[in-house]
Amino acid sequence: MSEINLPEVELNIYSKNDPVEVTVVENYVVTKESSPNIVRHITFDVSGTELVDRVKVGQSVGVLPPGKDEKGKAHRLRLYSVSSPSSGEKGEKHLISTTVKRTIEELDNKLYLGVASNYLADLKPGDKVRVTGPSGRRFLLPENSQDFNYIFFATGTGIAPFRGMIQELFEKDFSNECALIFGCPYRTDVLYADYFEDMDEKYDHFHYLVSVSREARREDGSKYYVQTKLDDEKKLLSPILAKENTLIYICGMKGMETGIYTKLINQGHPEYLEIRKELPDDLNEIPDKKFKRFIKPGPRIFEEVY
Ligand code: A2P
């Protein structure tokens, strides 16, 4: 297998005590149909700052929302994954994008709006935002990215880094296999569908698979999750998994990784993992909290769950 050469990255060029002001240039909804789960694509112009050409896809930027909480403390920093390629949004090195879901929660009959996500979602072109970063040094594409095949697993806004990574791979005439498996609750929640559907149509070696969890059920009554595609699309995915130069990237909801690891083992691919203890016959017997004591991701897995 080719060695995985991760690029050197720069970290925290701007810190929370020394943030930089950037300008919003676009802010649009990325679901095709209207959905109560509002997700927006927001692009910042970082011209004139040290961030130009120094943020890699897979890294995050921090956002400092203005104002104070009810205790009078400044709102804390929130991290958002970069969803533009390292070459910049639309090939412009001074444009960096992110993907933001408005967070809304009800607690004790009261509605709470996430401070940073709703602040960002309300912004208009021309508005200024204080940002920090970049952060993250491992969830990256290798420098020799063209030497590998990829299986990307995303749930919800976990798609953000993969949008940029897939753009980056294909802008360099990528010729290996690449599968993107995306999971969301309803069909109306599919993110960046137009882009990925076009890619799927255009390239025989790009495979776009969507798992919608709360509409139909699988034959055995289980939900359609990203990991169930490993069974349902075995004919397509199994030969890709079997190649020794395939990398797996996982991004999204905490807990999705254990389902993916379990499927990998059940399908005879322990080589992606580091098995640290003798495994029970039925992996579902391992409580989620103890999973990492038994199984950890190996060097071919890149994971960012939250
Ligand atoms: P569900 O909530 O129906 O169980 P979003 O971030 O837009 O809410 O999407 C997250 C998606 O991930 C949903 O479809 C959700 O399904 C699904 N999901 C929840 N738990 C897991 C898990 N353990 N493994 C994989 N997918 C999961």
Question: Token pair for residue 174?
Answer: 């990528």
Q: Residue 42 pLDDT > 90, yes or no? A: yes
Indicate which atom in ligand 1 lies nearest the CA of residue 157.
Answer: 6
Taking the C-alpha atoms of residue 67 and residue 160, their distance in angstroms, rounded to an integer, is: 27
Mean pLDDT of 58-83: 96
Concatenated DSSP letters of 58-75: TBEEEEE-SSB-TTSPBP
Residue located via tokens 């753009």: 167
Question: Token pair for residue 35?
Answer: 């959905």
Indicate which atom in ligand 1 lies nearest the CA of residue 185.
Answer: 14
Q: How far is the CA of 178 from the centre of ligand 1 (A)?
A: 22
Q: How far is the CA of 11 from the centre of ligand 1 (A)?
A: 31
Which residues does ligand 1 sit against, CB inside 6 Å? 37, 155-156, 183-185, 189, 213-214, 223, 225-227, 253, 255-256, 259
Question: Token pair for residue 73?
Answer: 């403390």
Average pLDDT, the chain: 97
Q: How far is the CA of 286 from the centre of ligand 1 (A)?
A: 20
CB atoms within 10 A of CB 286: 18
Question: Token pair for residue 2?
Answer: 């080719």
Q: What is the pLDDT of residue 198?
A: 98
Q: Rg for the chain (alpha carbons), in Å? A: 20
Mean pLDDT of 288-304: 95
Q: How far is the CA of 282 from the centre of ligand 1 (A)?
A: 22
Q: Residue 289 pLDDT > 90, yes or no? A: no
Q: Whose CA is nearest to atom 11 of ligand 1?
A: 184
Q: What is the pLDDT of residue 153?
A: 99
Tell me which amino acid residue 273 is.
L
Q: What is the pLDDT of residue 56?
A: 98
Classify 130 as helix, strand or coil: strand
Q: How far is the CA of 185 from the centre of ligand 1 (A)?
A: 6
Q: How far is the CA of 77 from the centre of ligand 1 (A)?
A: 25
- For residue 146, what pLDDT band results from cuts at 50, 70 and 90? very high
| Range name among 50-59, 166-175, 199-208, 285-294 with the lowest pLDDT average | 285-294
- For residue 288, what pLDDT band results from cuts at 50, 70 and 90? confident
Closest CA to 286 of 266, 272, 268, 306: 266
Indicate which atom in ligand 1 lies nearest the CA of residue 252.
Answer: 6
pLDDT digits (tens, 9 = 90+) for 214-254: 999 999 999 999 999 999 999 999 999 999 999 999 999 99
pTM of the full predicted structure? Answer: 0.97
- Return the beta strands (E) in 71-148 as ranges: 78-81, 95-101, 104-107, 110-113, 128-135
Taking the C-alpha atoms of residue 174 and residue 276, their distance in angstroms, rounded to an integer, is: 35
- For residue 143, what pLDDT band results from cuts at 50, 70 and 90? very high
Mean pLDDT of 152-158: 98
In the chain, what is the greatest distance between 2 CA atoms, to the nearest angstrom? 58
Q: Residue 65 pLDDT > 90, yes or no? A: yes
Q: Whose CA is nearest to atom 25 of ligand 1?
A: 256
Q: Residue 1 pLDDT > 90, yes or no? A: no
Q: What is the pLDDT of residue 2?
A: 87
Mean pLDDT of 162-188: 97
Q: How far is the CA of 125 from the centre of ligand 1 (A)?
A: 32
pLDDT digits (tens, 9 = 90+) for 88-110: 999 999 999 999 999 999 999 99
Mean pLDDT of 58-77: 96
- Return the beta strands (E) in 47-108 as ranges: 60-64, 78-81, 95-101, 104-107
Element (H, E) at 262: helix 256-266
Q: Whose CA is nearest to atom 21 of ligand 1?
A: 256
Question: Token pair for residue 222?
Answer: 């289980």
Mutational test site, ligand 1, from 30, 35, 225, 229, max ligand atoms within 8 Å of CB: 225
CB atoms within 10 A of CB 232: 14
Q: How far is the CA of 78 from the centre of ligand 1 (A)?
A: 22
Indicate which atom in ligand 1 lies nearest the CA of residue 258.
Answer: 23
Our CA angle for 59, 63, 67, nearest 5°, is 170
pLDDT digits (tens, 9 = 90+) for 272-282: 999 999 999 89
Q: What is the pLDDT of residue 88?
A: 98
Mean pLDDT of 135-139: 98
